[in-house]
Amino acid sequence: MPDAETILEVRSLTKIYPGTVALENANIQFQRGKVHGIIGKNGAGKSTLVTILSGIIPPSTGQIIIKGKEYSHLTPLRAKQAGIAICTQKPETIPDFSLVQNLFLPAFEQNRLGFLKWKQMQDHTQRIFNQAGFHIDIGRKMRDLTLSEQQIFLALKAFFLENTDIVILDEVTTSFSQREQDYFYQLVREQKSLGKSIIFISHRMDEILEICDQVTVIRDAKVVETVERSSADKDQLCSMIVGESYCTPAQTTQEAAQSPFFDQIPVLNVEEFTREGSFEDIHFEVHRGEILGLAGLVGSGRTEILKAIAGIDVTQKGFIQIEGKEKKRFSKSWDALDEGIVYLTEDRDDEGVINVLSVRKNLSLSFLVSIARHFLMQNTRERTLVQNLIRDFGILTSSTEEEVQNLSGGNRQKVLCGRVASTQAKVFLLDEPTKGIDIAAKESILKSIKEKLALNAGVVITSPGIDDLLIVCDRIIVLFEGKAIRNFQRSEFNELEIYRSVQGLVSNVIDQTVGKG
């Protein structure tokens, strides 16, 4: 079949949720033997398109045409039967199973009597690994592999075992080292040469332009344009992704044009912070009442910097100061907590809330000592504090005794934010506090950060996109490959310029004064 043959097409594909249009009238053609990139801001509609194509959710309207056959919607089984495989950003594997078991799951090879053919599956696995140049012991458990090794493993399963015609790679390269990235690119090119259609979703413009033949930009749930790689460049794609409204509405207000007044002595001062392989020579300061945003792609160093400040990870160089006092750096999280630094994790369910405990117990975990007297809980005081947090953060729960696991994702996140707020810290380090929640919950949390957390403390916040930062931050520092490269005051906020910086489009790395307010 010729390379230009359309193997997959979506026509007028639309997905509507109550109050939200997630994808609107999308029309895209995917060709055999091509790598087709999909790029856009967070919330643009990329994930919605992918979940529709993989059969996880149905579209509201529109058609999906696969090899000439038209579908109104797909299921995971129907998508697989039609020749579509997907590798997601979070690997879907069973950690305690071996590589052989994970490779063949759920369709194990069996003989006529129904017994599993373990020797044949082991031999088959080894042949695939040898053919792909993937040098991993097949006897290992999946949990023993790194995240990037798991991503490569699942891609090999799609390419070699399932042997599908259409493979969706949904942000799978975020954790790759340079060597792993080079290997993966070569693997993709080899599969493309065999006539497979590969849909490549990424936030990284460099890799989109490196590996893709065509690029589709999605903005505000709509397909903006599909362009050939040969005619595209970073500046053009940035403009298409952000759109014509480059500035935030707040820029035009008198409040945004004025510099806010903060205490002369910063509540947090970070100097020469360096952690090999994660970030280098980071400088910034935060004042009481100020919200500082750290913008950057996954792997830019955002999370690593926050964890180093909070004493969760250890740095090789640099120090911090709290309220101008002794310069130090923490090697234990409880030492940072004693100094008034509180970290809110990006992983709400695994590292944040305790899902089997009640709302009351989750909220009171951080102030147990302050409401206890002679080893006995002061129930009245606890009840008052918990009720105040539920009110302040708008937590929707039937009872303070309801288990957190029964709440929506947005309300679980509000519980986590409420617990962090209860510490009355001097510095709040918020790592993607709006990750994985709906628009209403996001607006509520951002309002609470602005009006509650930043009232008497300094706040450092990260976000998977820049939209949230534009709303609440007084300053934004852009990180790229572990270095601070731009510093934007609120009066200078410009969405296009910040987005270009996030993609590394700046002339020179800025000097060591980059984070000074």
Taking the C-alpha atoms of residue 218 and residue 46, their distance in angstroms, rounded to an integer, is 7
Taking the C-alpha atoms of residue 468 and residue 449, their distance in angstroms, rounded to an integer, is 11
Quote the pLDDT of residue 219: 92
Q: pLDDT tens digit string along 467-501?
A: 899 999 999 999 999 999 999 999 999 999 999 99
Side chain identity, residue 457 = A
Q: pLDDT tens digit string along 34-80?
A: 999 999 988 889 989 999 999 999 999 999 999 999 999 999 999 99
Taking the C-alpha atoms of residue 459 and residue 473, their distance in angstroms, rounded to an integer, is 9
For the chain, list the domains and their CATH numbers: 6-83+164-242 (3.40.50.300), 246-331+461-517 (3.40.50.300)
Q: What is the mean pLDDT of residues 181-196?
A: 94
Find where tokens 């060597």 sit.
Answer: 179
**Do residues 125 and 100 make contact, with C-beta atoms less than 8 angstroms apart?**
yes
Look at residues 222, 167, 195, 213 and name the one whose alpha carbon lies nearest to residue 49.
222
Does the structure show a pLDDT above 70 at 509?
no
Residue 110: which pLDDT band, with cuts at 50, 70 and 90?
confident
**Do residues 363 and 422 make contact, with C-beta atoms less than 8 angstroms apart?**
yes
Taking the C-alpha atoms of residue 65 and residue 11, their distance in angstroms, rounded to an integer, is 8
Radius of gyration of the chain (CA): 25
Q: pLDDT tens digit string along 312-333?
A: 998 989 999 999 899 988 988 8
Which residue has better confidence, 291 or 350?
Answer: 291
Helices marked H in 14-164 — which ranges? 46-53, 76-81, 99-104, 118-132, 147-156
Instruction: Kindly report which listed range (132-146, 157-171, 420-434, 497-511) carries the lowest average pLDDT score.
Output: 497-511
Record the tokens describing residue 201, joined without a space. 């979703």
Residue 367: which pLDDT band, with cuts at 50, 70 and 90?
low
Q: What is the mean pLDDT of residues 122-137?
A: 92
* Average pLDDT value over all residues in the chain: 86
Taking the C-alpha atoms of residue 322 and residue 330, their distance in angstroms, rounded to an integer, is 12
Find where tokens 């995240």 sit.
Answer: 147
Q: pLDDT tens digit string along 250-276?
A: 443 334 334 455 777 899 999 999 999
Does the structure show a pLDDT above 70 at 375?
no
Taking the C-alpha atoms of residue 404 and residue 318, their distance in angstroms, rounded to an integer, is 39
Quote the pLDDT of residue 516: 56
Record the tokens describing residue 84, joined without a space. 């579509």
Which residue has better confidence, 378 or 202?
Answer: 202
Which residue has better confidence, 283 or 516?
Answer: 283
Region label for 243, one of left (φ > 0), alpha (ψ between -120 and 50) or beta (otherwise): left
Quote the pLDDT of residue 256: 39
Quote the pLDDT of residue 251: 42
**Do residues 472 and 452 make contact, with C-beta atoms less than 8 angstroms apart?**
no
For 439, phi then psi, to 5°, come to -65, -40
Quote the pLDDT of residue 255: 43
Quote the pLDDT of residue 52: 95
Q: What is the mean pLDDT of residues 274-283?
A: 92
Quote the pLDDT of residue 68: 92
**Do residues 396 and 408 make contact, with C-beta atoms less than 8 angstroms apart?**
yes
Q: pLDDT tens digit string along 434-458?
A: 887 777 778 888 998 998 889 889 9
Percent of the chain clearing pLDDT 70 (strictly above): 91
